[in-house]
Chain A
């Protein structure tokens, strides 16, 4: 009984590559780690198996998956069955725009190597599964402000080489 009726909210967001590699996961429902892995595997499989001509919506358990592919990355949100599917597609698009604006034409590698930024940007946009700030300017400004407060990434951290 982990996925209860919580109208209006996104339950989780997953970003994964066409090869099925998870690039970002954000859970707005508290679940054990093991469960998250299981769900992720299942959903990646379902979405990758669908062909291009299909709708962007899949019934999954008592939730609905709304997904869209941008270049090599799939963005997938799980929402309540009665929630607004089209607007969820635009949540995804707006997030991509925010990433674009920050990274300048974002690509998969940006998200791999600046994962913390991808999380910060998402947090500015969505909180607890609800859209917090829909204005692109305000959301990006918040991130840029915080960047002013910190040294450049390269300065303080050699990325682990994976």
Chain B
């Protein structure tokens, strides 16, 4: 027996012996009888289910299908169901056997055949039987048990291949199965109808009134009426839940009679919850509450009966204190959706203390997670301070698995409901203090953006970060925020001798050597800003910049900054310094990128809907933050459709902050312009448009350039929006799209067409230009947008690379693991593969990485790479002349903070270019 099998090895040995035995029986000269065949097929199945591979016996199993003996047929079908084989020859034989059994009119055989179809559920099965099963389902003489199987079998095929299940006369007859006498038939039919109704609501509309009357008969029945369909004194709980689920495919019934009847049902269900239990068994309460929770889901879905919503809320409130953990969990979860209804939002809020208590005392992390979700959902201006404080409290001890999410939630709530921005600044600094490692870029970028946009909080922010930096060990994110804010607003606290310029500088510089390269780069920018803010410490700063550790720093980025900043501080006049290093202009206001991140984390749907509803409500009740700070210019700017990391667009990571001063390297989308005005240090993100199509391409004090583009196959269209930020007209405004060095070559690869724009752009106005793009052949260089105009007597000339990159012409390709590796192998010529190993420039977050790969244009293939930490993608680059299949694989190494990216395409140059473009994204 099993316990006798002391070791794994012994088991394997034993099994191999058995397999050899069975193989010899199957291969033997003597034909096996059905009995023996069944016996050995059953043994194989047993071995397979123990976890061993089986690569033979399929044929013998198929033979069993056509046996007339039930037991042999049954084992044959079980084997086929468990060990599906895509071998086409076998599928044909299997289908044949199934066909015979379906036609046999023997209900037991028909049942076996239907189960097999449902178990395999493949497209081939759907092709063969999707036309036949509806007939069996609605035929007058079909036995009830076969009807049940047929309904669910059809449902399975519909889920696999909806296109293969023809709608027709049978649909109306299926709806009438809701009236069937046999509750088992009704249960199965309800599942089928619900799924069909989700995709074809119009066609199944009549099911609503039938479902309501069926439900009504069940909930008003005495507990014994339904005999075997009563489960622990609860009448037909499965059917009730399915009917309630079906009704959630539709809005509240329009017919007042039906609607009234449904309301009665729901009230009855709520009433029953208050009655004493008919049994102490947990099965009784589970079944009863399962129906109750489903009824509450329907009430929330309809969101139209204030009375029912409030009753639902009270009921859930009782469950919040229930001794059963499961009920507390479900009540928290259900209340979350209730909080988004305007009718019940206030009622939900009354439970705040209980929920906070749950956060503190629940022993199960799943339950605490639900409590956090609910606090987030019930938050509004009236309780934001309390909720944020409690979440911060909880964060100190929260499970690592949910910390990042809590950080995002706190950051969003603090921003959304801030009346007083000093509170907002304090909250974010607290976040960094408590959970610095979990504070993502989006969060600390955002606090800086808000401080820059609100001059009433700048002095406070400077003072607060200055104080926070006093701590001997502070998180690097605090150094970043502190460095940035003091660089901009350190002057606001410099009057206080305790935070004089020199003290500020020394404080920051004391952290310098403990920080990573990007933070040091940011601090160097702070130092050059200090030269402008505080001329009195210029020489101290120059000394630091001049030191060997800076000027000869092994890191090219740091060295370049030190050299250029030192040079700038030496040669530039005070006026030029003041212009170049001027305070950052306000950022255009958009949807918070943190919110976008949370949505990405939680998946679409859950957060989105809630947020949309809450936003609408909060804009009436509270006035939203967004509208308060958005400047008139950005109101007229193009609405950014996607908001992956918009903050990063305009603010960017510090690594590229120096870009405008550096000679335009190949991967710079921003080229230095000829006049001094644009040379101000305005961070621009390299490669920022590779994975997205919309956003702000360029911005200085005069001009904002926004982009919106779409690509399909080898064609694209880009809308360029030029916004005049000044109150003065731009004259002779001439944007030109020019192609890079090798003009001829360029024309052959990329065909761009534009129309000139009106040469006069009024102050505050915006003009739009359309670029039609055709990718003729694969290309490397991005085209350049040159803009010339006159502004107040001076000639302006600037150039920006237009982010039209090869990957824009991707079409994603889904493929199976098998296909992927087959193609991967086919592209094994060394010239087809390009590989790059590089350091991570951003936090290594799997979700963000996935979004970037999808944004890059290829399909993200899940479950293909044997290592789940790796990312695999596939797509086709469409050009006019050819199509190039591309496979990619990204392997993160968290420990080393490195990535290895491999591209395989049929063309070396394409592999090379895609690899370059994508490497820069992580």
A residues sitting closer than 8 Å to B (CB atoms) are: 1-2, 6-9, 22, 24-25, 28, 30, 32, 34-35, 37-38, 53-59, 62, 82, 84-87, 89-90, 93-94, 112, 115-116, 119-120, 123, 127-138, 142, 145-146, 149-151, 156-162
Contacts and interface: CB of A to CB of B under 8 A. Distances in A.
A86 B195 contact: no
A162 B14 contact: yes
Given A54-B364, A55-B364, A132-B149, A84 B241 contact: yes
A127 B122 contact: no
A119 B237 contact: no
Interface string B224-265: 000011010000111101100100000000000000000000
Nearest to A157: B39
A136 B230 CA distance: 10
Nearest to B288: A86
Contacts of B82: 119
A135 B229 contact: yes
Interface stretch (B69-77, B519-527, B545-553, B585-593): B69-77
Nearest to B194: A8
Interface string B152-178: 110110011000000000000000000
Given A25-B49, A84-B294, A119-B78, A160 B43 contact: yes
A87 B287 contact: yes
Given A85-B326, A162-B1, A149 B238 contact: no
A56 B121 CA distance: 30
B385 interface: no
28 contacts: A1-B862, A7-B245, A53-B363, A54-B325, A82-B297, A86-B286, A86-B290, A90-B231, A94-B231, A115-B45, A116-B74, A116-B75, A123-B119, A127-B118, A127-B149, A127-B152, A127-B156, A127-B188, A128-B153, A131-B191, A134-B187, A134-B239, A142-B111, A156-B39, A157-B38, A159-B46, A160-B18, A160-B43
Given A84-B293, A150-B71, A134 B152 contact: no
A133 B122 contact: no
A132 B39 contact: no
Contacts of B603: 62
Nearest to A53: B363
Given A116-B78, A128-B153, A84 B42 contact: no
Closest 6 CB pairs of A and B: A128-B156, A150-B71, A87-B290, A86-B290, A149-B70, A54-B364
A25 B50 CA distance: 10
Contacts of A130: 152, 155, 188, 191
Interface in B301-348: 325-326, 328-330
Contacts of B148: 127, 132-133
Contacts of B2: 112, 162
Given A53-B325, A128-B155, A132-B188, A146 B290 contact: no
A89 B228 CA distance: 19
Interface string B97-117: 000000000001001001100
Contact of B42 (A9, A123, A157): A157
Given A22-B49, A55-B328, A62-B603, 4 more contacts: A2-B863, A127-B156, A135-B229, A156-B35
Contacts of A7: 194-195, 198, 245
Nearest to A33: B53
A128 B366 contact: no
A8 B245 contact: yes
B288 to A, nearest CB: 9
A137 B39 CA distance: 30
B418 to A, nearest CB: 31
Contacts of B576: none
A57 B326 contact: yes
B108 A145 contact: yes
Given A116-B75, A156-B71, A162 B5 contact: yes
Contact of A146 (B108, B119, B188, B297): B108
Interface string B36-48: 0011001101110
Nearest to B48: A33
Contacts of A1: 814, 862-863
Contacts of A115: 45-46, 49
Contacts of B237: 87, 90
Contacts of A160: 18, 43, 46-47
A18 B556 CA distance: 57
A112 B46 CA distance: 9
B369 interface: yes
Given A35-B863, A93-B283, A128-B153, A134 B231 contact: yes
B170 to A, nearest CB: 18
Contacts of A119: 78, 82
A88 to B, nearest CB: 8
B159 A6 contact: yes
A123 B231 CA distance: 20
Nearest to A65: B366
A135 B235 CA distance: 11
Given A6-B159, A119-B78, A32 B817 contact: yes
A8 B287 contact: no
Given A138-B184, A160-B47, A162-B2, A55 B329 contact: yes
A113 B364 CA distance: 36
A35 B720 CA distance: 46
Residue from the set A32, A131, A149, A161 with the largest chain B CB neighbour count within 10 Å: A131
Interface in B138-157: 145, 148-149, 152-153, 155-156
A161 B46 contact: no
Given A54-B325, A54-B366, A120-B74, A135 B184 contact: yes
A54 B326 CA distance: 8
Interface string B259-297: 000000000000000000000000100110110011001
Contacts of B149: 127, 132
B287 A146 contact: no
Given A127-B152, A128-B156, A160-B43, A146 B74 contact: yes
Given A35-B863, A123-B115, A157-B42, A8 B191 contact: yes
Nearest to A141: B145
B11 interface: yes
Contacts of A157: 38-39, 42-43
Contacts of B242: 8
B367 interface: yes
A116 B45 contact: yes
Contacts of A25: 49
A106 B290 CA distance: 26
Contacts of A24: 49
B1 A149 contact: no
Contacts of B817: 32
Contact of B862 (A2, A58, A85, A133): A2
B358 to A, nearest CB: 12
A94 B124 CA distance: 33
B51 interface: yes
Nearest to A23: B49
A162 B322 CA distance: 46
B78 A128 contact: no
A119 B148 CA distance: 18
A59 B369 contact: yes
Contact of A131 (B69, B187, B198, B287): B187
Contact of A134 (B45, B159, B238, B814): B238
Nearest to B38: A156
Contacts of B863: 1-2, 32, 35
A138 B194 contact: no
Interface string B770-808: 000000000000000000000000000000000000000
Contacts of A85: 290, 326, 330
Contact of B241 (A53, A62, A87, A133): A87
Contacts of B71: 149-151, 156
A90 B325 contact: no
A146 B145 CA distance: 14
A131 to B, nearest CB: 5
